[in-house]
Chains A and B, each alone.
Chain A
Amino acid sequence: MPMAMAMPVTTDCGSGSRWSMVSLKSALPPLASSIKLPCRRRTPPPRTRSPQLVRSFSALSPVNPLHSLGFSDMSSFGQNFTIIDNGCRFFAMRHGRRVPKLNRPPDQRRALLRGLTTQLLKHGRIKTTRARASAVRKYVDKMITLAKDGSLHKRRQALGFIYEKQIVHALFAEVPDRYGKRNGGYTRIIRTLPRRGDNAPMAYIELV
């Protein structure tokens, strides 16, 4: 119901009186989803007949909605967009986020962790930075858990992660004896002196 749609829009923004609702109504396609801002936007309706509650939306939105209330031109749209797809819940702090980024984009991060687990399983003890050592624990434990299971599917999953297949076969042969009784915690991290070149805190990570 377009009329019902228009009502919340006029009451929301104080300066909405600048807009003529008739012209707005006629200009815009009959959008079913609730629109928070009276800006002209060409997004197709993602849902049908959503409740009138003006809530979060997953479309593009300018950073500060108040700024664009008085704008009739679209030129500011390009600069102000941030893509918010968690329902407008965007925080400036890192509270509760547990994935270590290791200062790398996701593909490089994955490659780094794969390489580190391969080397750790190959040599038994490696020396690396503390952040990398604590990030790689999870993946080494996962590989050892796959080896404990021992089925073909798990072996192929391990082959998809570890770079050298000899190591996978050796791991699957050795793990039941070595870690059969141990439940988790297959690695140990020992912190050590910082690196000379950049004073990075170093650690040894070894298989228990």
Chain B
Amino acid sequence: MARSVETLVVGGVIGDVLDMFTPASEFTVQCGSKKVTNGCDIKPSAAADKPHVQILGHPLSSNLYTLVMVDPDAPSPSEPRLREWLHWIVADIPEGHDATKGRELVAYMGPQPPTGIHRYILALFKQEGAMEGRIQVTDVRANFSTRRFAAQNRLGLPVAAVYFNSQREPAAKKR
């Protein structure tokens, strides 16, 4: 699926957050009723709850995956001082299942872009084995580095990624 990698390169995801990879797995993300495709617009109100993430594959396979969600444009795309802002980490997701079957290491925080249009990247890594306690989790969400996290936990390159855009909704309801 070279097509999806190209959109990630064009959107700057590969380069800012991830390294070039070849997609090995597929997963679908759904925010509410909307399926997330690369670069689509999702309102923060629609993404306030955990999106439904389903990893495609054979449910009886023993592969486990880790899902990481970050925002590289915090607090503003023109000045991303807090790149990347960590939103969600779920580990030990069995293949063919959704993210609720995994262990949530960092609780989900919905997109709340203060200014500008932010990208929200969901990256999927394949684990070597089950990680019960070996994963270290920080409680500081700012200045997270997905690459460092993957290197520390021996996750290697991601196997799939998707990203969507989100911007602050106007407070007052439009007439």
Contact = CB atoms under 8 A, between A and B. Distances in A.
Interface of A: 121-127, 174, 188, 190, 192-193, 204, 206-208
Contacts of B76: 123-124
A123 B73 contact: no
B11 A124 contact: no
Given A190-B10, A204-B165, A124 B78 contact: yes
Contacts of A204: 39, 117, 165
Contacts, number: 43
A123 B40 contact: no
How many residues of B sit at the interface, in one of the four size bands?
A: 10 to 19
B12 interface: yes
Contacts of B115: 123
Contacts of A192: 39-41
Given A204-B117, A204-B165, A124 B77 contact: yes
Interface string B69-97: 00001001111100000000000000000
B165 A124 contact: no
Given A190-B10, A206-B12, A123 B165 contact: no
Nearest to A126: B117
A174 B11 CA distance: 23
Interface in B88-120: 115-117
A188 B12 contact: yes
For the complex of A and B, the 7 pairs showing the least CB-CB separation, nearest first, are A124-B78, A124-B77, A123-B116, A125-B77, A125-B117, A124-B116, A125-B116
